[in-house]
Amino acid sequence: MPNLVYDFAAGNKDMKDLLGGKGANLAEMTNLGLPVPPGFTITTEACKVYLKTGSVPPELADEIDHHVDELQRRMGKKLGQADDPLLVSVRSGAAASMPGMMETVLNVGLNDDSVNGLAHQSGNPRFAWDAYRRLIQMFGKTVLGMEGEVFEDALEKAKEAKGARSDLDLDADDLKALVENFKHAVHEHTGREFPQDPRTQMDLAIAAVFGSWNSERAILYRRQERIGADLGTAVNICSMVFGNLGMDSGTGVAFTRDPSTGQQGVYGDYLQNAQGEDVVAGIRNTVPLADLEQIDKASYDDLMRIMATLEGHYRDLCDIEFTVERGKLWMLQTRVGKRTAAAAFRIATSLVDEGVIDIDEALRRVKGAQLAQLMFPRFDADASKEKIAKGIGASPGAASGKVVFTSAAAVEAAERGEKVILVRRETNPDDLHGMIAAQGILTSRGGKTSHAAVVARGMGKTCVCGAEELDVNVAQGTIKVHGSVIEAGEMISIDGTTGEVFRGEVPVVPSPVVQYFEGSLAPDAGDELVESVHRLISHADDVRRLGVRTNADTAEDAARALRFGAEGIGLCRTEHMFLGERRVSVERLILAETDEEREGALAELEPLQRGDFLELLAAMDGVPVTIRLIDPPLHEFLPSMEDLAVKVALARERGEDPGHDAALLVAVERLHEENPMLGLRGVRLGLVVPGLFAMQVRAIASATVELRSQGKDPQPEIMIPLVGAVQELHLARDEVERVLAEVGVAGEIPIGTMIELPRAAVIADQIAEAADFFSFGTNDLTQTTWGFSRDDVEGAFFSRYLEKGIFAVSPFESIDREGVGALVRTGVDRGRATKPELKLGICGEHGGDPDSIHFFHEAGLDYVSCSPFRIPVARLEAGRASL
Ligand code: PEP
Ligand code: MG
């Protein structure tokens, strides 16, 4: 069995998994020769045993004995020694920082005897009795599981009895009485005495820290931060130093540079005559760190020297906790500091300019998620807000507007120049116009891949989904929430990052980073953040191997994507072109009973499609545009069966002729499917509705010819969706080729397919024979691999799956490497085995997800395709993946 306990001098900063972040960094500082109070760390391995078995490993006691002996020898005093006791702190410290989530016990080693020794040694009896009462209080709460209020009430009573305003007004005798009180309380509530043996105190505190790994708040925090549930925490036993021994003592926090801007300078706070917890509790006001220079110049100079050493050593912003004990500086903790997204970018490029790191390292240190945060306008943090609900932050941003409940109302209001939030129980493709017109979308049902979410992200529009506290009644035009009612026309605000919903208008601040990507703010215009973003994204572009394309269906989206750096379109969903007034023609196509009727409907649609492709290909001149032939089930273009049935029945009841509605209802019933996502869609539709694919291909080919005649360079690629058998692709391809030949562009437009069914991935070697390229449709591939309905599961039960740790993040959001990812790899390997030069892309939602982009890089794809607003993130992450 490897060691379970390491002296601080035996570890280093790279041993975080074993020693936790705090332990590893205390070890590093010890070895740098910095003044760290001596101590040792009990490993996360010991914690894992405790969590599994309910007790510490049997050999731990001996190892601790050995390290305690060593510590006592070095300090020249013993735990519990009556005349001059050694005191230690027992602190948690996991590999990933979990601030405040787990337990700490200070002043371990005090008892009824040694408190007198401490009083004598420190010459400060009040301090000694205060330290003892703090120990009993922390021990009672943390180790013995008592309610904190028991102690707080007793403290309050002591103050009242004395007429004291603050803890500091209690003298040594008061505190001595309080200690007696606390000990009684311990006995009363737990049936046992407060343990007088220091080693018992220590052992119990260690077990309590281990146990706090599974406290409710720690579990919740880990889930949110995606920290593994089985990593365990280390425990640090550190000899105590005291910042509360008088005015020549104190405690503080420091940053080696400004954590919110990255600027160099002296940042932090200091509090004289205090312990760390007093700073956190905000009992007294701290002073700026710079004031320490006046208070205690020697300690200040030491601290400045140490900060420079730490920054030089870690080559990054560090944050520090320190204590001054009677004029002597001690380092209690350091770590590479947390920072805001803006500071991450600025610090990274500043460190390059200072010659501390190179530009590759700078790129490693910024994340796509941070860039995404910088791109959305956000609510002014200082504004007052009334929160009414919390849903799923489905598409980031901050939007305010008047509540509207229908697409038509949204469009009308937008035409009047009003800002609106479209509120629905859930959205459907019919709501698209309303979604475009609205500032934001709020639904009470659905998750991150619901229709509302996917479409909103595509448009870069703020969206909150699944706000289940809201009772949305579209017919009545009301939202009921917690007993109050919001009506159409009232102002609300939604935060698509946090999922919060507010009543009223919350002011927002725009993002300069978007202005830069849009081209309206030059990188050298003097905005330091924009300059940093520009430098790092330019470097990402230089080093990345993955291409970045966009998912776009309109010339406007395409143009924005180009400005954001897209290198083409990876997915144009042509079904999005059949909405709005064109639905009538689609309806006619579906209802056609004769060849003539069907051909008539197709003939109506063709010039419209041609116009779409002319615009799109012109906007994307000279770069590839992958156009996917129509995919979703036709009934999505028809009215709801239930609504129609009611309408027809009502008409009949009134003795009226339902006319067209009756014919429509028959068709809708005929086309109704129990599982439309697994039904008549994709290539199946093209193969069973004669002339549909041909119409689209003719529109693409003739738009291409026309643009070429204008001297342009259109580069369409035709993509067949939802293929599961090579025969399907052969048949579809034959038809596409026939039409291309008719228009005179035979062999000039690549014909490829989506890989979005497990079967397609498995037989990718066969499919590659009939495909010029593949694009992985990871939305459907996830849906069909897991058997999860992408439209339903997130709202229905994913939150419980996340809680139970079945996955740490929705597989619709970030690629499931083991399952769906394995199929992608299979598709890549088998496809390339047939055609080594086969071009491979991905166009599911995962194309814009940072973790997934790293996977696609590793899997050897040629490009990712994502919505326009995620292009910068994809460029950055593709660059980082290449390092
Ligand atoms: C997919 O399935 O991943 C895809 C891109 O197609 P859609 O989302 O349109 O089904
Ligand atoms: Mg799909």
Residue with tokens 């972040």: 21
- Ligand 1 atom at shortest distance from the alpha carbon of 779: 3
Q: How far is the CA of 721 from the centre of ligand 2 (A)?
A: 7
Whose atoms come closest to the Cα of 551: which ligand?
Answer: 1
Report percent pLDDT > 90 for the chain.
72
Q: Within a 10 A sphere around the Cβ of 711, how many other Cβ atoms?
A: 7
Predicted confidence (pLDDT) at residue 590 exceeds the cutoff of 50: yes
Confidence of residue 279 (pLDDT cuts 50, 70, 90): low
- What topology is assigned to 250-339 in CATH? D-amino Acid Aminotransferase; Chain A, domain 1 (3.30.470)
Residue 280 has pLDDT above 70, yes or no: no
Query: Mutual orientation of helices 871-882 and 368-375 as an angle, nearest 10°?
Result: 160
Question: Which protein residue's CA is at the shortest distance from atom 6 of ligand 1?
Answer: 777
Confidence band for 204, pLDDT divided at 50, 70 and 90:
very high
Q: Do domains 47-57+67-237 and 250-339 have the same CATH topology?
A: no
Angle at 732 between CA 727 and CA 733, to 5 degrees: 95
Best substitution site from 549, 571, 681 to test ligand 1's pocket, by max atoms within 8 Å of Cβ? 571
DSSP alpha helices (H): ranges in 450-544?
Answer: 451-459, 512-518, 528-543
Residue 285 above 70 pLDDT?
Answer: no
Which atom from ligand 1 is nearest to the alpha carbon of 845?
A: 3
Q: Which of 126, 723, 567, 461 lies closest to 451, judged by CA? A: 461
Atom of ligand 1 nearest to the CA of 571: 5
**How confident is the model over 354-373, as a mean pLDDT?**
94
584 has a pLDDT exceeding 60: yes
Binding-site members for Mg(2+) are 756, 780
Sequence-distant (6+) residues with CB within 8 A of 61 are 203
Look at residue 690 in the predicted model and tell me its pLDDT: 92
**458 pLDDT more than 70:** no
Collapsing DSSP to helix, strand or coil, 398 comes out as: strand
Give pLDDT tens digits for 533-569: 999 999 999 999 999 999 999 999 999 999 999 999 9
Annotated catalytic residue: which of 67, 318, 451, 854? 451
pLDDT score of 377: 79
843 is catalytic: yes
Q: What is the DSSP string of 236-301?
A: EEEE---S-SSTT-EEEEEEEE-TTT--EEEEEEEEES--HHHHHHTSS--EEGGGHHHH-HHHHH
Q: Are 92 and 235 in contact (CB under 8 A)?
A: yes
pLDDT greater than 90 at residue 578: no
Residue nearest to atom 4 of ligand 1 (CA): 777
- Rounded to an integer, the average pLDDT of 562-577 is 95
pLDDT confidence band for 277 (50 / 70 / 90): low
Q: Sign of dihedral through CA atoms 344, 348, 354, 356?
A: positive
DSSP letter at 79 equals B
Integer-rounded Cα Rg, in Å, for the chain is 33
3-state class of 657 per DSSP? coil
pTM for this model (two decimals): 0.79
Q: Which of 302-306, 640-644, 851-855 has the lowest mean pLDDT?
A: 640-644
Ligand at minimal distance from the CA of 791 is: 1
Give residue 458 CA to ligand 2 midpoint distance, Å. 15
Q: What is the dihedral of CA 15, 21, 24, 29, to 10 degrees?
A: 140
Over pLDDT 70: what percentage of the chain?
96
Ligand 1 contacts (CB < 6 A) are 571, 573, 631, 756, 777-780, 843-844
Give the span between the Cα atoms of 630 and 590, in whole angstroms: 14
* Angle (CA) 292 293 296, round 5°: 70
Closest by CA position to 853, among listed 873, 839, 830, 869: 873
Q: Which of 88-102, 256-270, 401-415, 710-724 has the lowest mean pLDDT?
A: 256-270
Q: May I ask the CATH architecture of the domain 377-510? A: 3-Layer(bba) Sandwich (3.50)
Residue nearest to atom 3 of ligand 1 (CA): 777
- What is residue 354's DSSP assignment? T
Q: How far is the CA of 628 from the centre of ligand 2 (A)?
A: 10
Q: What is the pLDDT of residue 454?
A: 67
Single-letter amino acid, residue 132: Y
Would you list which residues are annotated within the binding site for substrate? 573, 628, 756, 777-780
For residue 451, give the ligand nearest its CA. 1
Place of tokens 């703010």: 521
Per-residue pLDDT at 282: 43
Min mean pLDDT across 208-222, 244-258, 806-820 is at 208-222
**End-to-end CA gap in the chain:** 37
Q: Which residues pair with 748 in a beta bridge?
A: none
Distance from the CA of 797 to the center of ligand 1, in angstroms?
Answer: 22
- In CATH, the architecture of 47-57+67-237 is Up-down Bundle (1.20)
39, pLDDT greater than 50: yes
Cα of 286 vs centre of ligand 1, distance in Å, is: 55
Query: Given this model, what pLDDT does residue 460 score?
Result: 67
Mean pLDDT, residues 131-143 taken together: 95
Helix or strand run (H / E) with residue 90: strand 88-94
Between these two residues, 736 and 258, which has the higher pLDDT value? 736
Query: Nearest bound ligand to CA 722?
Result: 2
| Closest ligand to residue 845's CA | 1
Q: Looking at residue 695, what is its pLDDT? A: 97
Q: Which residue has the tokens 């208008």?
A: 505
Q: How confident is the model at residue 216 (pLDDT cuts 50, 70, 90)?
A: confident
Tell me, in angstroms, the distance from the centre of ligand 2 to residue 819's CA.
17
pLDDT at 449 over 60: no
- Rounded Cα–Cα distance for residues 219 and 128 (Å): 36
Identity of the highest mean pLDDT range in 87-96, 343-352, 740-749: 740-749
CB atoms within 10 A of CB 491: 17
Residue 692 has pLDDT above 90, yes or no: yes
- Taking only the tens place, the pLDDT of each residue in 473-525 is 988 999 999 999 999 999 999 998 789 999 999 988 778 999 999 999 999 99
Report whether 547 contacts 863 (CB < 8 A): yes
- Strand 386-390 relative to strand 462-465: parallel, antiparallel, unpaired? unpaired
Pairing mode of beta strands 751-755, 715-720: parallel
Q: Which residues contact 261 (CB under 8 A, 6 or more apart)?
A: 342, 343, 346
**pLDDT 10s digits, 462-485:** 899 889 899 999 889 999 999 999
What pLDDT is stored for residue 376 in this prediction?
81
pLDDT at 103: 84
Over residues 403-428, mean pLDDT = 91
Q: Which atom of ligand 1 is nearest to the CA of 846?
A: 3
- Higher-confidence position of 580 and 625: 625
Q: Is the distance from CB of 210 to CB of 44 less than 8 angstroms?
A: no
Q: What's the CA-to-centroid distance between 789 and ligand 2, angstroms?
A: 12
Could you tell me if 133 and 164 are in contact, meaning their C-beta atoms sit under 8 angstroms apart? no
Give the residue whose CA is nearest to atom 8 of ligand 1: 779
Predicted pLDDT of residue 466 = 86
- The residues that bridge with 509 in the sheet, in sequence order, are 378
CATH superfamily of 546-633+679-882: Phosphoenolpyruvate-binding domains (3.20.20.60)
**pLDDT tier, 429 (very low <50, low <70, confident <90, very high otherwise):** low
Q: Supply the angle between the helices 555-563 and 595-619 in degrees, to the nearest 10.
A: 20
- Of 572, 843, 846, 854, which one is the catalytic site residue? 843
Q: What angle do CA 541, 552, 467 make, to 5 degrees?
A: 100
What does the chain come to in residues?
Answer: 883
Which residue is closest in CA terms to ligand 1's atom 1?
777
Which of 449, 549, 636, 780, when mutated, tests ligand 1's pocket best, judged by the most ligand atoms within 8 Å of its CB? Answer: 780
For residue 448, what pLDDT is reported? Answer: 62
Sheet holding 398-404, edge to edge: 386-390, 500-503, 491-495, 398-404, 420-424, 440-443, 462-465, 392-395
Q: Cβ distance 274 to 284 under 8 Å?
A: yes
Residue list for the binding site = 573, 628, 756, 777-780
- pLDDT-based confidence at 447, cuts 50/70/90? low
Mutation probe of ligand 1 site: the residue of 448, 631, 789, 856 with most atoms within 8 A of C-beta: 631
CB atoms within 10 A of CB 397: 26
Output b/e per residue, 432-462; b: 16+ Cβ within 10 A: bbbbbbbbbbbbbbbbbbbbbbbbbbbbbbb
Q: Contact 734/714 with Cβ under 8 angstroms?
A: no
Helix residue spans in 754-843 (DSSP H): 758-762, 764-767, 778-786, 793, 799-803, 820-834
Of residues 667 and 224, the one with the higher pLDDT is 667
How much is the pLDDT for 524? Answer: 95
Q: With 50 as the cut, is the pLDDT of residue 864 above it?
A: yes
Q: Helix, strand, or coil here: 334?
A: strand
Q: Which band of pLDDT confidence, cut at 50, 70 and 90, is reported for residue 281?
A: very low
Per-residue pLDDT tens for 56-77? 999 999 999 999 999 999 999 9
Q: Are 472 and 423 in contact (CB under 8 A)?
A: yes
The arithmetic mean of pLDDT across residues 796-806, rounded, is: 80
Report CA(146)–ligand 1 centroid distance (Å). 54
Q: Whose CA is nearest to atom 9 of ligand 1?
A: 573
The question of whether 866 is a catalytic residue gets the answer: no
Average pLDDT (274-292) is: 72
Domains of the chain, residue spans: 47-57+67-237, 250-339, 377-510, 546-633+679-882, 635-672
- Nearest Cα residue to 177 out of 195, 191, 159, 164: 159
Paired tokens of 492: 């609300």
| ipTM for the whole complex | 0.99
Q: Are strands 233-239 and 88-94 parallel, antiparallel or unpaired?
A: antiparallel
Distance set, CA 552 to CA 505, 560, 631 (Å): 31, 10, 15
Per residue in 592-630, pLDDT (tens digit) is: 889 999 999 999 999 999 999 999 999 999 999 999 999
